Amino acid sequence: MARKNSKQAATNGDANIGYEAQPQQMAEALRGSMDAAECKHVCLGLLFLKYISDAFEEKHAARHGSALFCRYELPQPLEVIEADIKVLEDDIKRMLGEVTS
């Protein structure tokens, strides 16, 4: 299906809302009853936080040669953790048996 260019769509009167109009609609929906000047400060603050976050990730990756998040290692082997949980479960069952009898 061939796409119409914007001049053809505007002259035919069947112009669809394009991708460029979506950010404006989203901003209006998020803004609600807030004044446009006040909303500007909020939006600029969010853009600044996004910029700082991206810049930090780039610097961190360049300095450490890896992604921001590292692989998590368990403090103990999984078998030891499972054994501790089993002991706790047995203690809880014993205590509940004392309370309910």
Please tell me the pTM assigned to this model.
0.36
Residue 52: pLDDT band (50, 70, 90) is very high
C-alpha triplet 4, 6, 7: angle, nearest 5°: 100
Round the average pLDDT of the chain to a whole number and report it.
77
Average pLDDT of the residues in 46-75? 79
Rounded CA-CA distance 100/94 in Å is: 10
Residue 79 confidence class, pLDDT cut points 50, 70, 90 = very high
